[in-house]
């Protein structure tokens, strides 16, 4: 696996040890269904964050940012390659600059606290100057709060180059929430350029049932009332026909992955299909009150899922029972029957 380690320094012993742990996608997978669930419907499924959640195969959710273990350098290389090639993956509407600094500072502090042996933020007593070091990627950056010239790029993009999460900020206007800034490279069949500036109802327009059943309104109310000192999270899932753990299935990349589904159906190679799970964090940022909707995408192939028989059985039941409109929106209505059979085999 290639790394993006850019410094001339050697990896620290703690960084080398972190990156050498064996990869086990199931052990850290945020399994999206409660144990007793056998029918999935959309809901405002939010829970307090930073709470470790045991699963049939391991645990997830102890920290806000899951760096991804040994895969972190490869994920970040992918992220940086996309950002270098396509500046339109970062959209910051006028007036959002301070919120982006708020986001950056919140996350750098959180990373320092969550990964004290790997990530370091030193704060100058003047409250304006900071020194950031990321031992896994070799980042070593002095920065001055609010001074874009102190960074190689904007603060939101700087953070996007340090963490595997897609970053989205929403602000309130006239009692509604608008998607006003984003740095997104791993969107599941949507586009940050297209969606930025929309409100919650416009964004969720393509999702069946959501607005009609009052879920968009309840989600918006939840976020409008989100307290400043509590962090929440939500899990979302779908299937992805793009093998090799391809994270970037955004609309921008459609020509690259549009043929993956027909190819998979032709081959009938269902073990290659990926269960794609998003963990989304809702945080009210302390300086500006802006709300985050940051998305960390995880994947496990159905081959891997089948190594945990309880999961394989539950996923088969959920996919089989899913109403046609939701299965169509999620993109697997046409091939769900053989997938269910394969999971039960």
**Residue 208 tokens, joined:** 């069946």
Q: Provide the β-strand partners of residue 172.
A: 177
Q: Which residues contact 189 (CB under 8 A, 6 or more apart)?
A: 249, 250, 251, 331
Q: Which stretch binds ligand HEM (CB under 6 A): 16-24, 31-39, 148-156, 230-238?
A: 230-238
Q: Does 206 bind ligand HEM (CB under 6 A)?
A: yes
48 binds ligand HEM (CB under 6 A): no
Determine the Cα–Cα distance for residues 44 and 47; give it in Å rounded to an integer: 10
C-alpha to C-alpha distance for 278 and 203, rounded to whole angstroms: 17
Check residue 222 for interaction with ligand HEM (CB under 6 A). yes
For 166, the token pair is 């897609």
Binding string, 61-100, against ligand HEM, x = CB under 6 A? Answer: ----------------------------------------
Out of 204, 272, 313, 336, point to the residue binding ligand HEM (CB under 6 A). Answer: 204
Which residues ranging from 256 to 295 are in contact with ligand HEM (CB under 6 A)? 293
Among 207, 217, 224, 333, contact with ligand HEM (rule: CB under 6 A): 207
| Min CB(51)–ligand HEM separation in Å | 17
Report the length, in residues, of the chain.
Answer: 345
Q: Per rule CB under 6 A, is residue 170 in the interface with ligand HEM? A: yes
Tokens matching residue 273: 């299909």
> Which of 195, 157, 149 lies closest to 80, judged by CA?
157
Q: Is 7 in the site for ligand HEM (CB under 6 A)?
A: no
Interface of this chain with ligand HEM, residues 106 to 165, rule: CB under 6 A: none
- 208 exposure class (CB count in 10 Å sphere: 0-12, 13-18, 19+): middle
Burial class (CB in 10 A: 0-12, 13-18, 19+), 210: buried
H-type alpha helices, 86-129: 97-114
H or E segment at 90? strand 90-92
The answer to whether residue 201 forms part of the interface with ligand HEM (CB under 6 A) is no
Contact with ligand HEM (CB under 6 A): which of 79, 234, 246, 298?
Answer: 234
Number of residues in contact with ligand HEM under rule CB under 6 A: 22
Q: Which of 179, 311, 332, 342 binds ligand HEM (CB under 6 A)?
A: 179
Q: Which of the following is catalytic: 234, 245, 276, 306?
A: 234
Query: Could you tell me which residues come within 8 angstroms of residue 5 by beta carbon, excluding any fewer than 6 positions away?
Result: 11, 73, 136, 137, 138
3-state secondary structure of 328: helix
Find the binder of ligand HEM among 190, 199, 303, 313 (CB under 6 A). Answer: 190
Q: Among this protein's residues, is 234 annotated catalytic? A: yes
Enumerate the active-site residues: 234
Residues binding ligand HEM (CB under 6 A): 42, 44, 46, 168, 170, 179, 189-190, 195, 203-204, 206-207, 210, 219, 222, 234, 236, 238, 293, 329-330
């Amino acid at each position: 696996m290639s790394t993006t380690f850019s410094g001339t320094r050697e990896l620290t012993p703690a960084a080398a040890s972190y990156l050498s742990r064996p990869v086990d996608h199931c052990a850290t997978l945020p399994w999206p269904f409660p144990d007793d669930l056998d029918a999935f419907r959309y809901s405002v499924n939010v829970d307090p964050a930073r709470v470790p959640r045991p699963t049939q195969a391991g645990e997830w959710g102890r920290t806000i940012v899951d760096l991804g273990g040994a895969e972190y350098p490869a994920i970040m290389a992918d992220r940086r390659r996309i950002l270098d090639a396509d500046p339109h993956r970062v959209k910051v509407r006028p007036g959002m600059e301070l919120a982006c600094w708020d986001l950056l500072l919140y996350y750098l502090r959180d990373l320092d606290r969550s990964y004290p042996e790997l990530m370091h933020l030193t704060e100058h007593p003047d409250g304006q100057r900071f020194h950031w070091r990321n031992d896994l990627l070799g980042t070593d950056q002095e920065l001055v709060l609010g001074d874009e010239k102190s960074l190689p790029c904007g603060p939101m993009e700087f953070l996007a180059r340090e963490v595997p999460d897609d970053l989205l900020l929403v602000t309130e206007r006239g009692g509604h929430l608008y998607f006003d800034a984003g740095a997104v490279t791993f969107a599941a069949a949507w586009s940050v350029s297209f969606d930025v500036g929309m409100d919650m109802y416009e964004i969720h327009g393509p999702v069946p049932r959501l607005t009609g059943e009052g879920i968009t309104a309840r989600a918006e109310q939840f976020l409008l009332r989100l307290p400043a000192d509590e962090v929440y999270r939500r899990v979302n899932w779908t299937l992805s026909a793009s093998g090799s753990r391809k994270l970037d299935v955004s609309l921008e990349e459609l020509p690259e992955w549009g043929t993956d589904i027909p190819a998979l159906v032709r081959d009938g190679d269902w073990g290659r299909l990926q269960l794609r799970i998003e963990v989304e964090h809702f945080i009210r940022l302390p300086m500006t009150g802006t709300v985050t909707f940051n998305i960390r995408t995880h994947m496990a192939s159905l081959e891997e899922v089948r190594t945990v028989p309880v999961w394989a059985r539950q996923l088969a039941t959920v996919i089989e029972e899913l109403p046609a409109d939701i299965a169509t929106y999620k993109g697997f209505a046409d091939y769900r029957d053989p997938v269910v059979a394969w999971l039960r085999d």
